[in-house]
Structure 1
Amino acid sequence: MITPPPFALLEDLLGSRTDDPRLADLHRAHGLRPPPTFPDRDGWDGMGVTEQGWEMAYKATVRVPDRYPSLRVRGCGPVIGYVTKVYITESYPAPVRDGLTVALPEPEARARALDSMTAEYGNVVHVLHRDEESTFEVRYHEDGRFIWYLLTLNERAENDPELLRAAAPDAREIPFWPSLDPDESFPTALRALKVHQDASGLDGLDFETSDHFESGAVASWTGDDDADREFRVFGTDGSGGQVAFWRVHEGLPIEQQPVVLFGSEGYVGPVAKDLCDLLHLLAAGVGPFEAAMAYTSDEDIDDEDTALRPELARIAEIHLQRREGRTPKAVVEDAENAYADVRDRVDALSR
């Protein structure tokens, strides 16, 4: 039988990064999936073992000096989170701080409390310990029944001057590109894809290829006219989302720039690291929307190199390069790891 982790360990992990090896070991020992990473800085997640009476909450950004704003994996991939809360419920069999257990009567908790309050739903909260880094409290129903112990990382106010000075996340250097020229060259692989689509369709794929770069779409989306310098829209999905090259690499042709999606509901995300990978995604039956949403929606992207539409893989081979064994899952993961910061960039352009 697996025993729950000692409270001292959970307390020690409060505030730690989600890539801390100790967290990985804890999750592995208790059959949990790995500690989370997040696509953006709004993420929140919780993991634990209900039967053992413990859970830890993870937050993508904590308002604590030196941890705000959060870093990205490898500088541009998913956002690293932190442990921000530890919950101990009535199933937890071991003592917590100062030898207290989940059998602590409410009157005794009240007598020990630094301060007490009535929270939502009439719950009674007693703060048992507070220092510079954390607050330890116990909560009861209004009839005195125990709910949980809660250990919380102390965070600064949103308008804290020190945090505001550090609020701008590190961003990659973006070349300053000229405005779109109406006669700008359109990739031959996309022209071939357009010809194929007009002749035979894409067999249910939610993607419509243009025969030229569309102007004004990203500027309208962000409210920044300069955004059209940085992105080149070349297709749409059925909901009206825009598929575009994100021109982040100076000196590389447009075909080797990453492909991203501006979703019709406000979602932005990477699709593929270049046009060749996009064509292989389409050949496997994965559209831009499914690829861009896979990381945040837990959609199952096939890990097999299934060329359901070999004619699209052939377009990539003729006009770009041949890529054998390139699975859809690898394409999506590589795009997310390398270009997830497109979300931060679009947020910056939209302010």
Structure 2
Amino acid sequence: MIETTDDRAFPPALAEVARVEFEYEEDGGVDFEPYDAFDSAEETTDWLRNWTGNHELDGAAYRVFGQDGTGGLAALWLARPGLPLAEQPVVFLGSEGERGVVAGNLSDFLWVLADGVGPLEIVEFGQYEGRPNAALAELAERHATTPRRTADEIVTEAQAQFPTFSEDIDALCR
């Protein structure tokens, strides 16, 4: 079991993302509704238990910070013990069981959003190209600690770093 802290201080970059209006249209856009704070530990535990059917779990390894229109959740996954929240991978767990790693850290996630792609589009549709968003690109330029790369490069790298994420989630399910 990974030791985690109960750090729920919202990173400044996510607070800024929460102020951005994401437009979703049938022919494009990003289906993402960012939160202005992490879900509570209790909410996260309740959600994870219901999502997996495993009522022995707690949600300590996740910091949920947004959702799509169907209720799928974007979260920081505390997979790197001892590192700050901003260095943890971003994952998406969809309302119908979809799941995947979206970015290796918060900085890379900002570049993904700047490319006009969100967590749902990546995990459910394998979409790595969208309509670039100038406001999110500026936000990423201010907060990112990683160099700008395409969403495709970022997602491919992150999924290679955590190749068993889906199988690990399967193992939690009952």
TM-score (norm 2): 0.83
**CA-CA distance at 1:276 after TM superposition:** 1.4
Q: Give structure 1 regions of 4+ aligned residues with deviation exceeding 6 angstroms.
A: none
**Based on CA coordinates, which of the two structures has the bigger radius of gyration?**
1
Matched, 1:248 2:79: yes
1:339 aligned onto 2:153: no
Alignment coverage as a number of residue pairs: 163
Q: Which residue among 31, 41, 49 is the counterpart of 1:219?
A: 49
- The DSSP-based 3-state class of the residue aligned with 1:185 is coil
Matches within 5 A, 1:84-163: none
Cα deviations by residue, 1:169-221 (Å, 9 ceiling, x for unpaired): xxxxx52224x46xx211110001112x2xxx123220011111113322321
Partner of 2:70: 239
Measure the CA separation in 2 of the matches of 1:288 and 1:301. Answer: 10
Contact 1:316 1:322 in 2 (8 A): no
SS in 2 for 1:260: strand
Q: Does the residue aligned with 2:18 lie in a helix, a strand or coil?
A: helix
Q: How far 1:336 sits from its partner (Å)?
A: 1.6
Please state how far the C-alpha of 1:267 moved relative to its aligned partner.
1.4
Indicate how the Cα distance of structure 1 residues 301 and 320 shifts in structure 2: closer, same or farther if over 3 A, else same.
closer
**Cα 1:247–1:300, aligned 2, differ >3 Å: closer, same or farther?**
closer
Matches of 2:91 and 2:147, distance apart in 1? 20
Q: Kindly indicate which of the two structures has a greater share of residues assigned to helix.
A: 2
Cα displacement string for residues 58-109 of structure 1 (whole angstroms, at most 9, x for unaligned residues): xxxxxxxxxxxxxxxxxxxxxxxxxxxxxxxxxxxxxxxxxxxxxxxxxxxx
Residue 235 of structure 1 deviates from its aligned partner by 0.5
Q: Is contact 1:233–1:245 with CA below 8 Å preserved after alignment?
A: yes
- Per the alignment, residue 285 of structure 1 pairs with 116
Provide the C-alpha distance between the structure 1 equivalents of 2:170 and 2:124, rounded to a whole number of angstroms.
17
Q: Is the 8 A contact 2:117 2:127 kept in 1?
A: no
Which residue of structure 2 aligns with residue 310 of structure 1? 134
Corresponding residue for 1:202? 22
| Counterpart secondary structure, 1:266 | coil
Q: Which amino acid is the alignment partner of residue 258 of structure 1? A: P
1:329 aligns with 152
Q: Return the alpha-carbon distance in structure 2 between the equivalents of residues 315 and 300 of structure 1.
A: 22
The one-letter amino acid of 1:175's match is I
Contact 1:224 1:350 in 2 (8 A): no
Shift of 1:317: 2.5
Which amino acid letter does the alignment assign opposite residue 206 of structure 1? Answer: D
User: How many Å apart are 1:251 and its aligned residue?
Assistant: 1.7
- For 1:340, the aligned partner's letter is P
Indicate conservation of the 8 Å contact 1:245/1:258, yes or no: yes
3-state SS of 2:92 partner: strand
**Cα gap change, 1:202 to 1:300, in 2 (>3 Å):** closer
* Bigger relative contact order (CA 8 A; separation at least 6): 2
Corresponding residue for 2:128? 301
Give the equivalent residue in structure 1 for 2:27. Answer: none
Q: What TM-score results when the alignment is normalised by the length of structure 1?
A: 0.43
CA root-mean-square deviation: 2.1
Structure 1 stretches lacking a partner, 5+ long: 1-173
2-side partners of 1:338 and 1:300: how far apart?
Answer: 19
Q: What SS is found at the alignment partner of 1:245?
A: strand
Deviation at 1:307, TM superposition (A): 7.3
Cα shift at 1:271: 1.0
Deviation string 1:198-256 (CA, Å, 9 cap, x unpaired) is xxx12322001111111332232123453401111111011110111111101211111
Residue number in structure 2 paired with 1:189:
13
Aligned mates of 2:166, 2:127 — CA distance in 1: 22
* Secondary structure class of the residue paired with 1:192: helix
C-alpha separation between the residues in 2 aligned to 1:291 and 1:194?
Answer: 19
Percent identical among aligned pairs is 36
Deviations 1:309-333 (A, max 9, x none): 1221222222332523x01110121
